[in-house]
Copies of this chain bind each other. A is one copy, B any other.
Amino acid sequence: MSRVYNFSAGPAMLPEEVLRQSSAEMLDYQGCGMSVMEMSHRSSSFQNILDQAQQDLKDLLALPDNYKVLFLQGGASQQFAMVPMNLMKNGVADYIVTGQWAKKAYAEGAKYGKANKLATSEDRTFAYIPDCADLPVSPDADYVYICENNTIYGTKYKTLPNTKGKPLVADQSSCFLSEPVDVSRYGLIFAGAQKNIGPAGVVVVIIREDLIPEEVPAFVPTMLQYKIHADNNSLYNTPPCYGIYICGKVFQWIKAQGGLEGMQQRNLEKAKLLYDFLDESRLFRGTVDKKDRSLMNVPFVTGDKDLDAKFVKEAAAKGLVNLKGHRTVGGMRASIYNAMPLAGVQTLVDFMKQFETENG
């Protein structure tokens, strides 16, 4: 067996230790004689897995008591509808559009009320985060929406928008648990699991309790009501049990790395290694404004499409895979989520240096 360094934007690398444990427990979880995949979601064994995952996540986030943690299905894309369906009371919401995912969320929001594009960075292919210190937030906005880390473009909010008292809703899919976060500044956070915390098929929702509506419009499906899932502790119907189990293992792994402070230190170190090289390189350059650089997704180009393609191909041959950039940006993108070890980034930078020497 030979593991590669996988720079995929998602689904993405998981800690090898988590995979080893899961493999070992596949036929018999802790002596109960069955796989976690085979367990009734109403069994005490699974209830323990769910409770532990939830508690570990609360610990990691130092979650205030007035927030609920939900493990749902349908990914971030389904949250694009669930958020307005549940949170639009005045029928108005403000969206800051910093990439394709925020744009999709905005379009979906517009189906359920008046969605305002409060700011956007589309003018420069989303290569920056707009100044959000004093935006004209709608007086009757039910929430202000952001995609906090933009996977495709490699930008991240370093300062949260001034929402002027309105609840902040954040898609944290690609930066979730990558650094400490003050949850009390958000009304709702959601994150698809497949980047930083587990396999595709689980989406974590963290919601301030007072935002969970008692009533929703009649057309909202039962499965798309936060209240149903909150009241049933994510067990209204059969949840994605195996995915939750893997997320739980990742939460424990993060704890063992020193929690979110530990992850931040590790992520800063990895990102610095790569960005420092990009800033001094004669061949490669980063594509986004330095002040808005993501710690998770690092797009870069040579400026020559053929050379980009050559780089991606030669890197893959060395076990550095999935470095091809998104088609809207071109070039390369290295996604260096929590589970990517420093050695992976070091190997990448070493290869970039070598490639620069050979092709510069």
Which residues of chain A have a CB within 8 Å of any CB of chain B? 1-4, 6, 8-14, 16, 19-20, 22-24, 26-28, 31-35, 37-41, 43, 73-78, 80-82, 85, 108, 111-112, 192, 194, 198-202, 217-219, 221-224, 236-243, 246, 319, 321-322
Contacts known (A33-B319, A74-B73, A75-B73); A12 close to B27, Cβ less than 8 A:
no
Q: Which residues of B contact A237 (CB under 8 A)?
A: 75-77
Q: Which residues of B contact A34 (CB under 8 A)?
A: 3-4, 6, 13, 321
Contacts known (A112-B219, A200-B240); A23 close to B20, Cβ less than 8 A:
no
Q: In the bound complex, do residue A1 and residue B13 qualify as a contact, i.e. CB atoms below 8 Å apart?
A: no
State which of B12, B75, B112, B200 has its C-beta within 8 Å of the C-beta of A242: B200
Q: Which residues of B contact A108 (CB under 8 A)?
A: 221-222
Contacts known (A222-B108, A223-B77); A14 close to B38, Cβ less than 8 A:
yes
Q: In the bound complex, do residue A222 and residue B81 qualify as a contact, i.e. CB atoms below 8 Å apart?
A: yes
A-B residue pairs in contact (CB < 8 Å), sample of 20: A1-B28, A2-B28, A2-B31, A11-B37, A11-B38, A12-B38, A14-B37, A20-B26, A23-B23, A34-B321, A73-B73, A81-B222, A81-B223, A108-B221, A108-B222, A111-B221, A201-B240, A217-B219, A242-B242, A242-B243
Q: Which residues of B contact A3 (CB under 8 A)?
A: 27-28, 33-34
Please give the distance in Å from A239's CB to the nearest CB on chain B: 7
Q: Which residues of B contact A41 (CB under 8 A)?
A: 11, 200
Knowing that A6-B38, A80-B222 touch, tell me 19 more A-B residue pairs with CB under 8 angstroms. A2-B33, A3-B28, A10-B238, A11-B238, A12-B38, A14-B35, A19-B27, A23-B24, A37-B199, A37-B246, A41-B200, A73-B240, A74-B74, A111-B219, A111-B221, A200-B242, A201-B242, A221-B224, A240-B240
A-B pairs, 6 with minimum CB distance: A201-B240, A81-B221, A4-B33, A23-B26, A77-B237, A73-B73
Q: Which residues of B contact A217 (CB under 8 A)?
A: 219
Complex: how many Å from CA A35 to CA B198? 12
Q: In the bound complex, do residue A11 and residue B26 qualify as a contact, i.e. CB atoms below 8 Å apart?
A: no
Complex: how many Å from CA A274 to CA B239? 31
Q: In the bound complex, do residue A27 and residue B37 qualify as a contact, i.e. CB atoms below 8 Å apart?
A: no
Q: In the bound complex, do residue B322 and residue A40 qualify as a contact, i.e. CB atoms below 8 Å apart?
A: yes
Q: Which residue of B lies closest to A335 (CB)?
A: B40
Q: Which residues of B contact A111 (CB under 8 A)?
A: 218-219, 221
Q: Which residues of B contact A31 (CB under 8 A)?
A: 2
Please give the distance in Å from A112's CB to the nearest CB on chain B: 7
Complex: how many Å from CA A37 to CA B20? 13
Q: Which residues of B contact A33 (CB under 8 A)?
A: 2-4, 6, 319, 321
State which of B9, B39, B201, B238 has its C-beta within 8 Å of the C-beta of A192: B238
Q: Which residues of B contact A192 (CB under 8 A)?
A: 238
Most chain B CB within a 10 A radius of its CB, from A22, A26, A85, A111: A26
State which of B10, B32, B77 has its C-beta within 8 Å of the C-beta of A40: B10
Q: Which residues of B contact A13 (CB under 8 A)?
A: 34, 38
Most chain B CB within a 10 A radius of its CB, from A3, A9, A82: A3
